[in-house]
Amino acid sequence: MPQVMGAPLSTFASKQRLRAAQAIYVLFFSR
């Protein structure tokens, strides 16, 4: 992953990934 903005970009990407993972888990376990 290219570190253009440094830490902020990394934190944002990790937060987005965590949120996406949580949404996927909720969707899968809700069925």
Model pTM score: 0.53
Average pLDDT, integer, range 4-29: 80
> What is residue 23's predicted lDDT score, i.e. its pLDDT?
92
Contacts 24+ apart (CB under 8 A), 1-10: none
Structure tokens at 15: 């937060």
- CA dist 15 and 8 (Å) reads 11
Name the DSSP letter for residue 4. Answer: S
Please check whether residue 1 is in contact with residue 11, taking contact to mean a CB–CB distance below 8 angstroms.
no
Name the residue with higher pLDDT: 10 or 25. Answer: 25
Q: In what helix (H) or strand (E) does residue 30 lie, and over which residues does it extend? A: helix 7-30
